Chain A
Amino acid sequence: MMGGLLELSVAAAAGRIAAGEVSRAEYFEAWRAAAAGDELNAYLWKAEDGTAGGDGPLAGIPVAVKDLFCTEGVATTAGSRILEGHRPLYTATAVRRLHEAGAGVLGKTNMDEFAMGSSNENSAYGAVRNPWDHGRVPGGSSGGSAAAVAGGLAPCAIGTDTGGSIRQPASLCGIVGLKPTYGAISRYGMIAFASSLDQCGPLTRNVTDAALLLAAMQGRDACDSTSVGIEGGVEAPSRENLEGLRFAVPAELAHDAIEPGVRAVFEATLKRIEELGGEIAEVSLPHAEHGISAYYVIAPAEASSNLARYDGVRYGMRIEAEGDVIEMYEATRAAGFGDEVKRRIMLGTYALSSGYYDAYYGRAQRVRTKIAEDYAAAFDRFDFVVTPTSPSVAFELGAKTDDPLAMYMNDFFTVPMSLAGIPAISIPAGLAEPDGGGPQLPVGFQIAAPAFAEQRLLDAAYALEQAIGFDAEPGGSGG
């Protein structure tokens, strides 16, 4: 009976709860018990009881929340030592909206420190393990949220995506991850990494559940002047075919480093699109290949500014030092930040410093314009742009920790959409052997759409999801 409850989609469970067939307490307790068996280090904090909210469309649904979202009175660390023990005075708008729709927080999930990372190995609270193979990474930075959903520890989760942090872990864990248009969901109460790129979104077992969470969270918020919401709202997707829809494949994909297994699944998925009546053609996005360069200037630059607030004065930890207040700042930040965060602060500070600003930050902002123009031109002729979500399946823990640039390349296919501010979804499209052999692992297929075309994106993703019929589940090998 318990197992049965856990297998229900969020949409189905919400229906059963609304119909009175399952009680909120019973459903929440079933998930609380599942979360208690976390062997993936996916959770940093777990709720004791189901403090579910109102009677909305998500009544009784527990949600795993990335620890980047402020939750009133509940420890919020952003995966960093520097915020150890911090208990925010307020709750992020996205979480509050879920609560108003009837959902409750099941737990706070592990993440790369301040959302900086693509493997979840940058958490101050230990790496998260991939439920498909405990010796591999779940992706990042929303790795805890993705692992929790894929590993049967949560029915759904929310995360944040700055350059791929929802889509890439969703891909590596075999679930659905949606990065909405910049401005679709309020960023209020989301601990800032790169403010012009950060966006909240759902990680779920299917496209319909992603639409449900997006519908509840999206909208204008007086507390975030950049939030505009999605006009007309979001409805459950229902499309059955892809007739009349045009899908563009970037020509530059042909010579980029993609694992053969990932490429095979990608090409099989293109065939499915054609079987469903969709048209496929090549498009040139000449500046997309410069996405990583632009992103790894702009995001660290914004981060170096945003993270200036962690100084041991108003919240979080402090290291007392001999000497003046500057010595205290330096000692606190040296002990409180991990290696990757320090690296990005250094990179961003350098890119913004006198003499280098134009060469790095200024140029990166111009490249961003060119990337957005490439996509705008593509969307004049096409409905969607499709790519693999990640160039590889989940890689082994420790495989890339000594090579920052190799780690950054994981974001190759996800960064351009973030720079352009457009929505993109990753859906599980099949399984592939990793390079070097081993058991098969999930491969994500990424679909990008014009700004605020979430409904069209979800409808197409739903039709493709039904046709793919991905039903593989993690075996949890090597644990």
Chain B
Amino acid sequence: MIERKQVLHVAKLARLRLSDEEVEKMAGELSGILGHVDRIGELELDEVPPTSHVVELENALRPDEPRPSWPQEDVLGQAPDPADGAFRVPSPQAEA
């Protein structure tokens, strides 16, 4: 069972702001989904190696040759608030 406090903690980790209503709903929904997922807890898996990737791959390397990159103005043109050749954001130390 996921409690309200846990939802708020995870939301903080995920940088998501949830309304009170969303927190309540999320607690119920996550509990339901994880209740189903918990059935894999019954399987004997201690000796089983984990799979992070299914296809056997070796390092895929390319020649280390310089190539032109995108123009700075094109990249900054995608940003909501570009300024002085950079991405502008609110101060990390805004007055409380």
Binding site for B on A (CB under 8 A): 86-87, 89, 181-183, 196, 220, 222, 225-226, 228, 287, 290, 292-294, 296-297, 304, 308, 311-318, 320-321, 323-331, 333-334, 337, 342-343, 345-347, 349-350, 353, 359-360, 362-370, 372, 404-405, 408, 419-421, 451
Contacts and interface: CB of A to CB of B under 8 A. Distances in A.
Contact of A372 (B6, B17, B51): B51
A420 B51 CA distance: 9
A362 B46 CA distance: 10
Contacts of B54: 182, 196, 368, 372, 419-421, 451
A347 B33 contact: yes
Given A196-B52, A365-B51, 16 more contacts: A290-B40, A313-B89, A314-B87, A315-B79, A317-B80, A318-B81, A326-B15, A342-B16, A364-B40, A367-B40, A367-B45, A368-B50, A372-B51, A372-B54, A405-B32, A421-B55
B87 A313 contact: yes
Given A226-B57, A315-B78, A365 B37 contact: no
A408 B33 contact: yes
Nearest to B46: A366
Interface in B56-76: 57, 59-60, 62, 70, 74-75
Nearest to B9: A353
A292 to B, nearest CB: 7
Contact of A342 (B2, B22, B50, B59): B22
Nearest to B55: A183
Contacts of A346: 7, 10-11, 14, 16, 26, 30
Contacts of A323: 90, 94, 96
Given A312-B80, A368-B50, A363 B41 contact: yes
Contact of B16 (A337, A364, A372): A337
Contacts of B43: 287, 290, 363, 366-367, 370
12 contacts: A87-B78, A183-B57, A292-B36, A323-B90, A325-B92, A328-B89, A333-B15, A342-B22, A346-B10, A350-B34, A366-B48, A366-B49
A420 B55 CA distance: 9
Contact of B10 (A222, A228, A329, A349): A349
Given A317-B80, A366-B49, A182 B16 contact: no
A324 B78 contact: no
Interface of A is mostly: helix
Contact of B75 (A89, A181, A343, A367): A89
Contacts of B78: 86-87, 89, 314-315
A296 B40 CA distance: 12
Contacts of A327: 90, 94
Contacts of A421: 54-55
Interface of B: 2, 6-7, 10-11, 13-18, 22, 26, 29-30, 32-34, 36-37, 39-41, 43, 45, 48-55, 57, 59-60, 62, 70, 74-75, 78-81, 87, 89-94, 96
Return the 3 tightest CB-CB contacts between A and B, nearest first: A421-B54, A365-B50, A318-B80
B73 to A, nearest CB: 11
B interface SS class? loop
Instruction: Specify which of B16, B18, B26, B52 lies most central, judged by the most chain A CB atoms within 10 Å of its CB.
Output: B16
Contacts of A183: 55, 57
Given A347-B30, A363-B41, A331 B51 contact: no
Contacts of B92: 324-326
Contacts of A313: 79-80, 87, 89
B60 A328 contact: no
Nearest to B63: A222
A451 B91 contact: no
Contacts of B17: 330-331, 333-334
B30 A333 contact: no
Contacts of A325: 89-92, 94
A350 B10 contact: yes
A174 to B, nearest CB: 30
A329 B29 contact: no
A328 B7 CA distance: 20
A294 B50 CA distance: 12
A363 B48 CA distance: 9
A401 B68 CA distance: 47
A351 B15 CA distance: 16
Contacts of B48: 366, 369-370
B39 A324 contact: no
A404 B33 contact: yes
A91 to B, nearest CB: 13
Contacts of A420: 54
Contacts of B11: 346
A33 B41 CA distance: 54
Nearest to A310: B15
A391 to B, nearest CB: 16
Given A333-B16, A346-B14, A405 B36 contact: yes
